[in-house]
Amino acid sequence: MGSVNNEEEMDLIEEKWTKEAILYVNGVRKVLPDGFAHLTLLEYLRDSGLIGTKLGCGEGGCGACTVMISHYDKRQKKCVHYAVNACLAPLYSVEGMHVITVEGVGNRKHGLHPIQETLARVHGSQCGFCTPGFIMSMYALLRSSQTLPTEEQIEESLSGNLCRCTGYRPIVDAFRVFSKTNDALYTNISSQSLKEGEFVCPSTGKPCSCGKSYKPVSYSEIHGTTYTEKELIFPPELLLRKLNPLCLNGFGGLKWYRPLQLQHVLDLKAKYPDAKLLVGNSEVGIEVRLKRMNYPVLISVMHVPELNALSVKDDGLEIGAAVRLTELLNTLRKVVLMERAEHETSSCKAFIEQLKWFAGTQIKNVGSVGGNICTASPISDLNPLWMASSAKFQIIDCKGNIRMTPAEEFFLGYRKVDLARDEILLSVFLPWTRPFEYVKEFKQAHRREDDIAIVNAGMRVYLEEKGEEWVVSDASIVYGGVAPLSLSARKTKEFIIGKNWSQELLQGALKILQTDVIIKEGAPGGMVEFRKSLTLSFFFKFFLWVSHQMDAIKTSVPSSHLSAVQTFHRPSVIGSQDYEIIKQGTSVGAPEVHLSSRLQWGFTASKLPNSFKTPTAFLANHSSSSHAVVHDITIPLFASAIACLTGLIAFAYDLPSRAYCLILGPSTSPEVTGEAEYADDTPMPPIGLHAALVLSRKPHARILSIDDSGARSSPGFVGVYFSDDVPGENDIGPIVADEELFASEFVTCVGQVIGVVVSDTHENAKIAARKVHVEYEELPAILSIQEAIDAKSFHPNTEKCLRKGDVDICFQSGQCDKIIEGEVHVGGQEHFYLEPHSSLVWTMDGGNEVHMISSTQAPQKHQKYVSHVLGLPMSKVVCKTKRIGGGFGGKESRSAFLAAAASVPSYLLNRPVKITLDRDIDMMITGQRHSFLGKYKVGFTNSGKVLALDLEIYNGAGNSLDLSLAVLERAMFHSDNVYEIPNMRIFGRVCFTNFPSHTAFRGFGSPQGMLITEHWIQRVAVELGKSPEEIREINFQGEGSIMHYSQQLQHCTLLPLWNELKLSCDFLKARQEADQFNVNNRWKKRGVAMVPTKFGISFATKFMNQAGALVNVYTDGTVLVTHGGVEMGQGLHTKVAQVAASAFNIPLSSVFISETSTDKVPNSSPTSASANSDMYGAAVLDACEQIKARMEPVTSIHNFNSFAELASVCFMQRIDLSAHGFYITPEIGFDWTTGKGNPFSYFTYGGAFAEVEIDTLTGDFHTRTANVILDLGYSLNPAIDIGQIEGAFVQGLGWVALEELKWGDADHKWVPPGCLLTCGPGNYKIPSLNDVPFKFHVSLLKGHPNVTAIHSSKAVGEPPFFLASAVFFAIKDAIIAARAEAGHNEWFPLDNPATPERIRMACLDEFTAPFASSDYHPKISI
């Protein structure tokens, strides 16, 4: 192989390489200038105005930035389409390709794609921020599929997308239809080719009678094309255009090369030995962004043929280093299914299984084999398998010399490999396995899907028959996650080679493994005991699996052990929703789609003749209409794939005197088209600046000096501001002003704001902020609740106590047959709203006014903070919020200081300033759900009746009070859950710790208080040998019960709800079946549990229970509503609009909800506490009633054909058609000095049943079934309420079983003190689609109207969250069964989240015994 002799020759070649880069975006040709090599595709798209592609995390972990890439693959000789994370894709990596964003799939001008349509229809979008990403993942699957995708393929395609709102079930339901249709949209068949009257049912793909009455109306009849023709094709220019090598540049001297020949790669490597080779940038992108690593030269090898070779040979599979993981997976599946003998593909099957859980689809679509290998991550899922499978790596140097090295010898140390600076990995050779040679993969992660491993392994054994025995001829045992590199257990390997495959071999190998794999205490990653136990568990599983493969030859594995080796195959999610529709007026009670995701219609009021009152007759006479409405729910007529889902029915709407029908026009659905604007989507003015924060790096320290000279010399720098620059007051706080906007003398947590930098770009602002150097004098830090208690570190005036009866007398009187004492540790939780915090602040009228657009639940707090720090009256500060991409409490109080920080430079410079937090910074500085410590003493009788509870609860507030006292108070109110306890004493304190201030989160302390209660309820059951459900029922509260805060229960529906839940889940049968399963299975166990809840509705602070609204009626009959609440996916705007529509007896489509703005409705309470539909709905109703009262004299005299006619006449008669409505929640208030009052307006009751299955050897679990039932009175919108229940349940499941915050504290010394380790989707795992219960049933209690709230409804947002604890206690029930089999029947504590570590280490057996005692307690940050 020839090579370039010197750098000058290479320079000459580079000069010939093109600097002309082109790209097609949604069918439009774009020329990419030189100098953009530092940009990602996401940055380019958003800067180009394509805001549908969202920035959620910036590290490829959430899928919000998903787009589809299309390019012509010369090797396959076809166009390929696949989804990618635009946040990781370098801009020039897609040169010569076609990028399709959500705007290119469907939009307001050209109509919706069926994918968008069906997702909107089935309530698959709530806050909407993640929606474009899901649509693009599904779209890419359909475009790339040669045949109909299966339900499994659909769910797999969504594995890289996260949603925090919906609970995933409606998304899966929406997309499932595409696996059942004939998918004509993706063929060359036009609807015009259908025979007259022919109708194909989209559910079956077969002729169907459901369409006989109607003529399908497609876009071909309306616009002259069909969706088949409207689909964006691959641009012909790109088919004809010759691919050229690229030599381009970027910011800071960055060079970007795209060679097309292997020799050019080698020459570039010779010239730039430290250059990074990349394909998908999935690792380098993370290193550059999060680890601040600098790579001046990047070489894209995506198009080098030799590196992309993938060939099946007689002796194995040869895989080019640049082969993408998805391509490898598809090839392996093809090999296994069709091309090779079964005994040859054992290693292939192992790779298939490991790749399934390796990462999300978007990452696998671009990540390369060689990239994963050469990264040499100690937790790589594939490297242990390469080593175990006897793979060989082909390496080539810059002179063309090739050498082979065994994979087992390639990894030298932490991220060090056997590659010289002038060498690259050329290919990988994977040999076929021999008869009786077995390869198996193992992996345990926090979350099964799209997660990095805690420990993984690849194991191989080759058995040969000698006499009557099977002897190990060769073997390999390799672990990841136990050392700085993938580690071969050489001693164990040497021990088993030459020995008979027997129990003796197993026991001997397990002993040697304990010394072969050593993880030292305090090792990075922690969980030392768990990781050690996994090394034994994996080998035990491998032994059983191999033995099972040999069943036909050797003695079979006992049937009770088979569950340990059975591969997990998740069934598709099955959901059911059961509710009644109690319709009140035109809209209230109807299951309407979210306003933000429904179709906003242009309409005309057309008089409906009496002869056309039937839907069929009307449709026949208006066949050119593209849509129709049934009960004001929009129905598409253009796509048969969607039509059968909903039915083709027109809606005849009767006004008081005449019948009218809506003739509907073109549609807009902003969330599903990506056109819904969030704060960060607001276009920046030309003179706008970007802000980045200067943050503390110490948990507690004195600031000695600040040197900002580095920032001032940074590119694009405009200004830097500290405490002395604040025009007004520097002290801030939502209740108590115990925080500083910019720290002046002391810092009290890592991430505390010291100052703010503004620059011309977001990236330049971050770079400049990092260059501000702060000198500290470190001071002692308090890093846990227990440390705070020991040091008496409490926030001032936060000691609270509630009493009922006399606890001390009860304990001393002898009434209690038993008394127990214990502690409960309750973990925190990150909000992980998909939209990070963002605000755009600008001045008006020469700086006399300040306006802002913010992502916040509390615009009034933003207004107040900004006016305070700028020294302006609140009347000169306006905050607007159109919608936010999730909040969950995290944007209630902790968003205001960010807007205030940005307002300082905006005001002083008189220029617009935008601040948008990166995900890691957002998680680090804005606070989480409070962790709690509960100390209980409970007295009870032998029958299970609880007589006394003495409880101390502490929450970790962080470095400021924020809302922590209110959170503690609500936890104290809910510390009885639903139980009648005659004697109670609850004492609470708010702990000061040196962490960022924790804040509101869905439930606001109630879930923590109730979880502590359910812990001791479960312990009472163990002490008495009864079931927890029996103990719960014995102690239920009922009608008239007096709470420990003196409020009396009225209209209590707990018992009928509980009985309905027991009936629906057939609890006794479920219990028996779980017990029988556990008898038959040693290493997998099932558990069941039923848990109730009672959630008090209202703000616990009386003055906050008020709401205002402004209603304007226009002369065309439309209504504009503005209120003080914020839409964040919970459906508040939709419910409020329904109230207005029913009040005026008009269709919902006539009501529009404007943005929330402090200059329209002043002094609004934050949108939280679940009561906003109650309050703002009532305020809107009040305004509507005022207007109706003014209209009444006119309506009493005249009959009108339409509401528009009525409004016009009222206008002509000078009747005011605008009204301000107001509502206060009646009869509430609580006095803490007396401990008496009614803190809540009413209670929402609920119950849940869960069945889980755990793997006792690894701690893995899945939820088989969840039944949830809530009493929501007469629901304002049952479909939205069901969505809230499902979303809350899955979010709660994350809290109790998945999501663990890890801080630098005494239990995690390998994390820097006070720092948050879990500050991004890489380390912090919220539930994914794979975590949804297999069977997910949700129902609403029927026949119980709520006499207290508007239209007899009840609040829904927070109450269902706690019901996910049924999963937690089902897990504990399964662990109890596992421990019993090992002879341990005593009670044991289990902290939440019940992660795999906690589950596995609680399942005591011979594999945990060498590393942990029976009372071992995994570490937790609280």
Among 995, 1118, 261, which residue's Cα sits nearest to residue 605? 1118
3-class state of residue 1196 by DSSP: coil
Give every CB contact of residue 918 below 8 A, 6+ residues apart in sequence.
58, 766, 836
Q: For 1199, which DSSP code?
A: -
Regarding beta strands 773-778 and 701-707, do their DSSP bridges make them parallel or antiparallel, or are they unpaired? Answer: antiparallel
Give every CB contact of residue 736 below 8 A, 6+ residues apart in sequence.
961
Chain centroid to CA 222: 39
Regarding beta strands 689-695 and 913-916, do their DSSP bridges make them parallel or antiparallel, or are they unpaired? Answer: parallel
Q: Is residue 1358 annotated as part of the catalytic site, yes or no?
A: yes
Q: Which residues are annotated as a binding site?
A: 57, 62, 65, 87, 127, 130, 163, 165, 277-284, 358, 368-372, 381, 425, 443, 857, 888, 892, 970, 1002, 1004, 1169
Distance, in Å, from the CA atom of 1049 to the CA atom of 979, rounded to the nearest integer, reads 12
Alpha carbon dihedral 270, 272, 276, 280, in 10-degree steps, equals -80
Torsion angles phi and psi, residue 1337, rounded to 5: -110, 125
Rg (CA), the chain: 32
Among 1223, 1212, 1202, which residue's Cα sits nearest to residue 1348? 1223
Q: Can you list the pairs that 1022-1026 forms with residues at least 24 positions away whose Cβ atoms lie under 8 Å?
A: 1022/1376, 1022/1386, 1022/1387, 1023/818, 1023/820, 1023/1387, 1024/818, 1024/940, 1024/942, 1024/944, 1026/944
The residue with tokens 């590196």 is 307
Q: What is the distance between the terminal CA atoms of the chain, rounded to a whole angstrom?
A: 61
Distance, in Å, from the CA atom of 766 to the CA atom of 711, rounded to the nearest integer, reads 10
Report cis status (omega within 30 of 0) of the bond before 1393. yes
Residue type, 92: Y
**Which segments of 292-422 are extended strands (E)?**
297-300, 310-312, 316-320, 392-397, 402-406, 411-413, 416-417
Distance, in Å, from the CA atom of 1240 to the CA atom of 1225, rounded to the nearest integer, reads 9
Q: For 1353, which DSSP code?
A: B
For the chain, count helices (H), then strands (E): 41, 54
Q: Which residues are annotated as a binding site for [2Fe-2S] cluster?
A: 57, 62, 65, 87, 127, 130, 163, 165
Distance, in Å, from the CA atom of 1089 to the CA atom of 1141, rounded to the nearest integer, reads 42
Tokens at residue 793, please? Answer: 């570190």
Regarding beta strands 838-844 and 1119-1123, do their DSSP bridges make them parallel or antiparallel, or are they unpaired? Answer: unpaired
Give every CB contact of residue 204 below 8 A, 6+ residues apart in sequence.
180
Catalytic residue from among 437, 1358, 1381, 1397? 1358
Among 246, 397, 271, which residue's Cα sits nearest to residue 11? 271
Distance, in Å, from the CA atom of 415 to the CA atom of 524, rounded to the nearest integer, reads 15
Q: Which residues are annotated as a binding site for FAD?
A: 277-284, 358, 368-372, 381, 425, 443
Regarding beta strands 633-636 and 627-630, do their DSSP bridges make them parallel or antiparallel, or are they unpaired? Answer: antiparallel
Q: Which residues are annotated as a binding site for Mo-molybdopterin?
A: 857, 888, 1002, 1169
Among 292, 291, 336, 342, which residue's Cα sits nearest to residue 312? 336
The angle that helices 1278-1297 and 169-176 make with each other, rounded to 10 degrees, is: 120
Tokens at residue 568, please? Answer: 């997990």
3-class state of residue 386 by DSSP: helix
Q: Which residues are annotated as a binding site for substrate?
A: 892, 970, 1004
Distance (Å) of CA 343 to CA 67, 134, 385, 468, 1386: 40, 39, 17, 21, 47
- CA contacts within 13 A on the Cβ side of 684: 21
Which residue numbers are catalytic? 1358
